[in-house]
Amino acid sequence: AEVLRLDGVTKSYGSGEVETEVLHGIDLVLEQGEFAALIGPSGSGKSTLLNLIGLLDRPKYGRLSIQGEEASQLEEAELTRLRGRAIGFVFQYHYLIAEFTALENVMMPMLVERGRPDAEMQKRAESLLEKVGLLQWKDSRATNISGGQQQRVAIARALAMNPALVLADEPTGNLDTHTADGVFELMREVNLSNRTTFLIVTHDPRLAARCDRIIELVDGRIVSDRPNTRT
């Protein structure tokens, strides 16, 4: 099944005389279960593209659909709902809430959505923490665990709503090589066990080489999009 489709998507910043187009006619389809890397030099438009796909910003031209829902047809509130239901975000910095425990951080997206009994949310958050190997840290404050553990909590939180698509922007950029490998492996396991689609922005060629597909952006255009047969 198609999780994501972009047809001729463009994006500009500024307006009038200073308007600059930074994405030019992007076509891209991601199917369920794909594990894709998005690479390209700094300033090539990776973050901008991720913001559009994450429904945090709207294209200027072109069409963008998530799970068959065409984003330009949706009002702000519907976009927010689609984002919450379909997309999980992992950033370079984890953005955990320092005053909250690991468990409370993972429960956050479920609390925002509401409508579930507390016990059920807690059980789901615990099972997610178990999946990322941190169940014994569930009552620790976010600031009292290591950087790699914090990023694992952030991944568990991204999975809270069982999204079809996880967007990860330099998810291991702050971590040492060994810890980065562990976090990367975790995403791979989730991808294989849940068929969750991943789109991972990375500057690390080692990690890109471990994805199934490598999409390369240069100056706002996809210049290469190839399966990676080495995995």
Q: How far is the CB of 135 from ligand ADP (least distance, A)?
A: 32
Residue 146 exposed, middle or buried by CB count within 10 Å (0-12, 13-18, 19+): exposed
Considering beta carbons, is residue 22 or 74 the nearer one to ligand ADP? 22
**Looking at beta carbons only, is 43 or 205 nearer to ligand ADP?**
43
Q: Which residue, 50 or 106, is less far from ligand ADP as judged by CB?
A: 50
Q: Which spans of this chain sit near ligand ADP (rule: CB under 6 A)?
A: 13, 22, 40, 42-48
Of 91 and 184, the one with the shorter C-beta distance to ligand ADP is: 91
Q: How far is the CB of 173 from ligand ADP (least distance, A)?
A: 8
Please state, in angstroms and rounded to a whole number, the distance separating the CA atoms of residues 106 and 70: 29
Report the distance separating Cα 174 and Cα 33, nearest Å. 26
CB of 133 to ligand ADP, least distance (A): 28
- The amino acid that residue 38 corresponds to is L
Q: How far is it, in rounded angstroms, from Cα 231 to Cα 227?
A: 10
For residue 164, the minimal CB distance to ligand ADP (Å) is: 23
**Directed axis angle between helix 147-158 and helix 177-194, to 10°?**
20
